[in-house]
């Protein structure tokens, strides 16, 4: 038997025995075996015509070996197609349930998909995302770690892991996960936003601003990054810059209440009381009866000397435990002034 041909056939046999994942790889192996069998068949016919029985018998054994490998590979292809189809079916079902807000059913379908394709990092990732929505944070960490084990460069999985750790109050670990996400993909704006959010919680305002600036440099339309910068500027006492950041955030997403509240707070601090009133009204448009906005409105009206409007705004805070003490304090001052 030709040694080169024998080596090729042995290598192909080993590849068939190994676990195969990619459909294209399987198809290529099948085509290679079929080509090899056709070559052997042509040599058998030539040997038969030449009356070389020994060579013919040797080639026949080789032909039968390759034919068996083809049959085995075709069987594997059929099984893999069924497995792949089931994995895709349950994955798509999981996505559908997730988009419908049914996290429980999404989790079940993603788990079912993994029974057919346990090495798919995207499915592990989506399982983790669904578990976050279901508030199963420990389970989500396991799923996201599984995605990362399979694909170590999975920036989105590191980012989501950071979000989970942050929700669990594990800020230092969350920061490490966010840092890893931008290490794997330096252009990943969400990773920088995650870093900024942790720094902001840790009151590391300079670091927070640097990370958030990187996020908006990469994605100028990143609303949440602009919105978070408002709080950083307020913390730094840069109230006019906070107002500017709020205006940028509002231009990107007009219906988010918090940026109006922060703008109102910053405007009061900057002595821009009418701006504060308008921003507070904007907040109340999207979060009706929010005591924080009413309090800032009261502050602005009080500063402008409009006691009736100030009292009206402060009194709207009395049903809120957080804001009631401060509101009562200012109501008392205004009532004593007559």
SS3 sequence, 49-87?
Answer: HHCCHHHHHHHHHHHHHHHHHHHHHHHHHHHHHHHHHHH
Q: Where among 46, 69, 100 does a domain terminate?
A: 100
Domain assignment present for residue 245? The answer is no
Q: Where among 46, 70, 100 does a domain terminate?
A: 100
Cβ atoms < 10 Å from Cβ of 228: 26
pLDDT at residue 11 is higher than 50: no
User: Tokens for 282?
Assistant: 């904007």
Domain assignment present for residue 123? The answer is no
Count of domains in the chain? Answer: 2
Tell me the pLDDT band of 24, cut-offs 50, 70 and 90.
low
Domain assignment present for residue 116? The answer is no
Domain assignment present for residue 6? The answer is yes
Closest-CA residue to 155 (of 129, 194, 125, 181): 181
The CA angle 160-208-224, to the nearest 5 degrees, is 55
| Single pTM value for the model | 0.74
pLDDT at residue 55 is higher than 90: no
Tell me the pLDDT band of 33, cut-offs 50, 70 and 90.
confident
- Residues 323, 97: Cα–Cα separation, whole Å: 39
Domain assignment present for residue 4? The answer is yes
Domain that holds residue 275: 254-338
Closest-CA residue to 208 (of 229, 238, 182): 229
Q: Where among 100, 115, 134 does a domain terminate?
A: 100
Domain assignment present for residue 90? The answer is yes
The CA angle 218-219-221, to the nearest 5 degrees, is 160
- Residues 153, 185: Cα–Cα separation, whole Å: 8
């Amino acid at each position: 038997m030709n040694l080169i041909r024998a080596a090729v056939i042995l290598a192909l046999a080993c590849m068939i025995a190994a676990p195969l994942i990619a459909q294209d790889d399987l198809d290529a192996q099948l085509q290679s075996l079929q080509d090899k069998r056709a070559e052997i068949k042509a040599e058998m016919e030539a040997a038969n015509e030449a009356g070389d029985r020994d060579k013919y018998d040797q080639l026949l054994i080789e032909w039968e070996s390759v034919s068996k490998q083809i049959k085995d590979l075709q069987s594997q292809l059929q099984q893999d197609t069924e497995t792949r189809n089931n994995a895709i079916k349950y994955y798509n079902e999981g996505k559908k349930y997730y988009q419908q807000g049914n996290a429980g059913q999404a989790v079940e379908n993603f788990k079912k998909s993994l029974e057919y394709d346990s090495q798919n990092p995207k499915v592990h990732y989506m399982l983790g995302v669904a578990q976050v929505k279901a508030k199963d944070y420990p389970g989500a960490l396991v799923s996201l770690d599984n995605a990362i084990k399979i694909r170590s460069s999975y920036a989105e999985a590191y980012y989501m892991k950071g979000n989970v750790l942050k929700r669990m109050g594990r800020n230092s670990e969350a920061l490490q996960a966010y840092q890893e996400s931008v290490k794997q993909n330096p252009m990943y704006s969400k990773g920088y936003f995650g870093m900024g959010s942790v720094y902001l919680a840790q009151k590391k305002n300079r670091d927070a601003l640097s990370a958030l600036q990187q996020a908006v440099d990469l994605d100028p339309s990143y609303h949440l990054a602009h919105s978070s910068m408002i709080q950083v500027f307020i913390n730094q006492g840069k109230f006019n810059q906070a107002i500017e950041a709020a205006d940028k955030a509002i231009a990107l997403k007009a219906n988010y209440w918090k940026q109006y509240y922060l703008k109102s707070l910053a405007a009061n601090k900057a002595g821009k009381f009418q701006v504060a009133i308008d921003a507070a009204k904007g907040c109340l448009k999207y979060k009706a009866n929010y005591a924080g906005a009413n309090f800032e409105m009261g502050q602005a009206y009080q500063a402008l000397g409009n006691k009736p409007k100030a009292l009206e705004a402060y009194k709207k805070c009395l049903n809120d435990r957080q804001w009631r003490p401060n509101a009562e304090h200012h109501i008392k001052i205004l009532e004593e002034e007559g």
